[in-house]
Amino acid sequence: MATASLLVALGLLGCPAERLGVPLPPRGEQAISQEDLQRDAWRLTYPERVEGIDSAAQHLELRLRQMGLEPGFPNGYVRQQEGGVDVCGLAPGHADERLIVLAPAQGHGVARGAGPQAVLISLAKSIHGLGTPLRSILFCYGAIDTGETEVVRLEALPLDQDSLERVDYQRLARETQRLHRAHLAPELSITP
């Protein structure tokens, strides 16, 4: 009897989690949700209301760490500059080339700051756990010198409103999923 139980237990260890009824977190485009975008936009707009977080830069750093990204600068995720703060996380790739996903520092409010940063976090989440990209992908917020590198700028997002309550997060999630399909899925050899 003990041998049969042991064989059953060992057999279950080789089963995929889905067959055992263990829910797996969504990956790729399916990992992008309007709830995540809304939560991150709120926390980036009002960081002082989140325990242990003093600034939007701290929240952005925390979320990039949670997505398994490495520090984007030699001394960490955050770089203080005369004009403000830059925050970057890196998904190392197979090639020396880089793709930069950039939420430029444009001011305060949902449309100019928190919205693009929330999209940046969701795009980083969309590649989490999917393997090593072809090129390194640098997810950044701030005034980053991009040089000759290919850049996906998160400037023209559907954020007509500058109030958290009036943003159409469902539409923003669809646009973020489109950005994932167009720019990140090819880096991971994912077919949409």
Q: Domain coordinates of the chain in residue numbers?
A: 29-188
- Range picked from 33-47, 67-81, 164-178 for highest mean pLDDT: 67-81
The pTM score is 0.80
Copy the structure tokens of residue 31: 């990992």
H or E segment at 42?
Answer: helix 34-45
Amino acid (1-letter code) at residue 55: S
Q: What is the pLDDT of residue 158?
A: 59
Q: Render pLDDT for 157-174 as a digit per residue (tens, 0 to 9).
A: 656 555 666 677 888 888
Say whether domain 29-188 belongs to CATH 2.60.40: no
Q: What is the pLDDT of residue 10?
A: 44
Q: What are 98's strand-pairing partners?
A: 136
Low-confidence winner among 44-48, 100-104, 157-161 (lowest mean pLDDT) = 157-161
- Is the pLDDT assigned to residue 191 strictly greater than 60? no
Average pLDDT, the chain: 79
Q: How far apart are alpha carbons 68 and 124 in whole angstroms?
A: 9
**How much of the chain, in percent, has pLDDT values that exceed 90?**
21
